[in-house]
Amino acid sequence: MTLDRRALLATPLLTLARPAFAQAFPSRPIRIVIPFTPAGTTDLVGRMTAEMLGRRLNHQVVVDNRPGASGNVGAEYVARGEADGHTLLLTTIGTGAINFAVFRDRMPYKPEDLAAVGLMTRVPNVLMAANNTTIRSVADLVREARARPGAINYGTAGIATSPHVVVEQLRLATNIELTHVPYRGSAPMLTEMVAERIEVGMDNIPSALTFIRDGKIRAIATTGAQRNASLPDVPTVAEQGLPGFEATAWFGVLAPAATPAPIVQRLGAELNAIALDPAFRQRMAALGADPPALTPDGGTSPETFAAFLRAEVAKWADVVNRANIRVE
């Protein structure tokens, strides 16, 4: 028998082995790495995703918090991990897009080191003003910033976070000067806003919602494409004179790049079912989060999430570079 004949006979066997390999998955507990500390929106989305994925697979799915370096520690752990579908990353807009521009040559992994599996939810930010200010709209902010260039302080949860780069996007779009005051998380920034020690702030809606509803901070704009169901009376930035302005934080699942395609597709289908599940959507909506909306039914897929990631990396690289945002 010639070598070519042997190769020809072996091909159907390899073809048959691939579905069997996918059907054997999972063969041990699946780990979802959350690259931030427990509590907060990232942890909540990750834990609910893990819980529902475990039920759908009828298999144990555990959460592993690995914080550090703006999420890069946990993300690198997954990027360098075994590519068999048993180690996944709960990615954010930071670890999936912004960090590549902010950290540049210091990034420990590249976009191509991770494979898109599914986008779980999008979370708009909210632009806020302290109650002792006269700022009640984007126009008010622009007018006062132009009257006092650089004098208005705005707070965020930290350098290179989604709220930080979104304010910079707004600043560039309106040609105003503001002074960034970064905090170590949302809680201290919101506390300072309640105490009226900073004039303006930007945060993810879930973190700020209680303060806004209690009247301790004034919401002046949300950053999604449409008004947010949790803050229906608050107009978007786009409605206030900047058509096309849209910026949302988001949370999805990535796998090591070499993960077999059948496993990625299997996980992608399960995550899509979770993203469309009424219980998951209700929980996310209560936090002010929106559905993935990458597919016609409002869900997600590995292919659509991969395209979304490429667009986000390019979009935020442009904002970060124009605003000269760097982490030393």
Q: Which fold has domain 3-123+249-323?
A: D-Maltodextrin-Binding Protein; domain 2 (3.40.190)
What residues does each domain of the chain span? 3-123+249-323, 125-240
* pTM recorded for the entire structure: 0.83
Using alpha carbons, list the distances in angstroms from residue 95 to 4, 175, 200: 46, 28, 26
Residues 210-228 pLDDT 10s: 999 999 999 999 999 999 9
Per the DSSP assignment, residues forming a β-bridge with 32 are 63, 88
3-123+249-323 and 125-240 in the same fold:
yes
Residues 119-143 pLDDT 10s: 999 999 999 999 999 999 999 999 9
Domain 125-240: CATH architecture, name and number where available? 3-Layer(aba) Sandwich (3.40)
pLDDT for residue 23:
57
pLDDT for residue 186:
87
- Hey, how many other C-beta atoms are within 10 angstroms of the C-beta on 234? 19
What is the pairing mode between strands 200-204 and 153-156?
parallel
CA 162 to centroid of chain Cα atoms: 8
* Cα–Cα distance, 164 to 137 (Å, whole number): 19
pLDDT for residue 39:
74
* Cα–Cα distance, 34 to 171 (Å, whole number): 31
What mean pLDDT is predicted for residues 283-307? Answer: 94
Mean pLDDT of the chain: 91
Instruction: Report the SS3 class of residue 180.
Output: strand
With the C-alpha atoms ordered 246, 249, 250, 256, is the resulting torsion angle positive or negative? positive
> Tokens for 277?
């599940």
pLDDT for residue 4:
47
What mean pLDDT is predicted for residues 286-301? Answer: 92
pLDDT score of 238 more than 90: yes
pLDDT for residue 13:
43
Instruction: Report the SS3 class of residue 119.
Output: strand
pLDDT for residue 2:
44
